[in-house]
Amino acid sequence: MVKMNKFTNKEDIPTKNGFGEGLLEAGKKNNNILVLGADITGSVGANLFADEFPERFFSLGIAEENCIGVAAGMAMNNKIPVFATYGVFSAMRTTDFIRVSVCYNNLHVVIGGAHAGISVGPDGATHQALEDIAVMRVLPNMTVLSPCDSTQTKLATIAAIEKVNGPVYVRFGRAPVPNFTSQTMGYEVGKAQVLMEGNDVTIIATGHLVWESLQAARQLSNNGIYAKVINVHTIKPLDHEIILNAARQTGAIVTAEEHQKTGGLGSAVAEFIVQNYPVPMEFIGMPDCFGESGEPPELMDKYGMKSRHIVEAAKNVIKKK
């Protein structure tokens, strides 16, 4: 009943690599794609594009608000601007610029949120974007993508550029994480993916916690508990149909994300579930606090975002059914 070996980790790779590759691939197809840099171009993976197309790369220095405004001006004139920096800056230092100049004008600006989550590690709390999904998803017209590994980040980046018409935020990370999906799985904005079937509980995850969720489902199956695992690679628009079906099928949900428990994927799922098919839920994520320095695995463990925490949450939520 469970396909245990469908997904295997081919190699640990930072998801930002997928962003850089996707940007380059899309850039080769369309001369209207412009990339803006805020001093950390290599660090976010945009150097591949900048090296290949220097005439379409615009360095704007450490001035993130200006980057967003300039991107809006470009998008008004049939360009497709892509601006990536660390998520703490690209989504949050700039929020009012994104709200007014990009979202209110409904412009196709692609915003990359790099170094997302606590797995940024030793840099500490200032650089760990843990509120970016919450801030981005409440903005009207905004699409929010949160792919689960490097392969999928590449597809998400290309989709953000080629398939989305309005403002779009793509979230990715720096820590090497399991790369387990294949290009053939495809990427349709707004369509979540069922990665594992099960009837006892649903684990809805995003980002690299999708891998942890698969591990958790395997551990649960050893105890005779069968979990359905859903990869929500698009936080907004949320795939309501797949979530509703899962709630009906399993009657219990655990959400897992490398983000504050408040405002992110868990909240988005809960907002939908309470209005349509209430079932017990448990949330895996940051417990309303700042992160700290440490190695990524240490931090993921300390703040309760490893597979064993997901296993525990699944067992707890089943008891509440």
Partner 1 sequence: MKINNSIQQLRDLSFQVRKDVIRSLAEAGSGHLGGSLGLADIFTVLYFNILNHDPQRPDWKDRDRLILSIGHVAPVLYASLARAGYFPIEELQTLRKLGSRLQGHPGKDHGLPGLELSAGSLGQGLSVAVGTAISGKIDNKTWRVYSIHGDGELQEGSIWEAAMSAAHYKLDNLVSLVDRNNVQIDGNTKDVMNLEPLADKWKSFGWHVLNCDGHDLKDIILAYEQARKIKEKPTVILAKTHMGKGVRSIEDNHTWHGKAPSVKQADKFIKELEQNG
- Would you count residue 60 as binding partner 1 (CB under 8 A)? yes
Q: Which is nearer to partner 1, 65 or 123 (CB)?
A: 65
- Would you count residue 101 as binding partner 1 (CB under 8 A)? yes
Distance in angstroms (rounded) separating the CA atoms of residues 169 and 143: 6
Site for partner 1 in 220-249 (CB under 8 A): none
**What is the residue-wise DSSP string for 296-321?**
HHHHHHHTT-SHHHHHHHHHHHHHT-
Q: Which is nearer to partner 1, 9 or 105 (CB)?
A: 105
Stretch that binds partner 1, among 16-24, 73-81, 149-157, 182-190 (CB under 8 A): 73-81
Runs of H (alpha helix) within 127-203: 132-137, 150-162
Site for partner 1 in 128-157 (CB under 8 A): none
- Amino acid 138 reads V
Site for partner 1 in 185-214 (CB under 8 A): none
Q: Which is nearer to partner 1, 74 or 159 (CB)?
A: 74
- Would you count residue 58 as binding partner 1 (CB under 8 A)? yes
Q: In which residue are the tokens 């295997």 written?
A: 8
Q: Which is nearer to partner 1, 71 or 216 (CB)?
A: 71
- Would you count residue 166 as binding partner 1 (CB under 8 A)? no
Residue 195 buriedness (CB in 10 A; 0-12 / 13-18 / 19+): buried
- Would you count residue 53 as binding partner 1 (CB under 8 A)? no
- Would you count residue 81 as binding partner 1 (CB under 8 A)? yes
The answer to whether residues 271 and 243 touch, using CB atoms and an 8 Å cutoff, is no
> For residue 181, what are the CA distances in angstroms to 1, 81, 152, 231?
21, 28, 7, 11
Tokens of 260: 């504050």
Site for partner 1 in 30-49 (CB under 8 A): 34
The answer to whether residues 299 and 292 touch, using CB atoms and an 8 Å cutoff, is yes
Sheet containing 227-231, strands listed edge to edge, beginning at the edge strand earlier in sequence: 193-196, 227-231, 201-205, 253-260, 281-286
User: Rounded to the nearest 5°, which phi and psi values hold at 114?
Assistant: -90, 170
- Would you count residue 19 as binding partner 1 (CB under 8 A)? no
Q: Which is nearer to partner 1, 49 or 172 (CB)?
A: 49
Q: 254: number of CA atoms within 13 Å, CB side?
A: 32
Q: Which is nearer to partner 1, 39 or 298 (CB)?
A: 39
Stretch that binds partner 1, among 9-17, 65-73, 122-130, 148-156 (CB under 8 A): 65-73
- Would you count residue 96 as binding partner 1 (CB under 8 A)? yes
CB of 71 to partner 1, least distance (A): 6
Stretch that binds partner 1, among 56-64, 130-138, 289-297, 303-311 (CB under 8 A): 56-64
The answer to whether residues 290 and 125 touch, using CB atoms and an 8 Å cutoff, is yes
- Would you count residue 259 as binding partner 1 (CB under 8 A)? no
Interface ranges with partner 1 (CB under 8 A):
34, 58, 60-61, 63, 65-66, 68-79, 81, 96-97, 99-101, 104-106
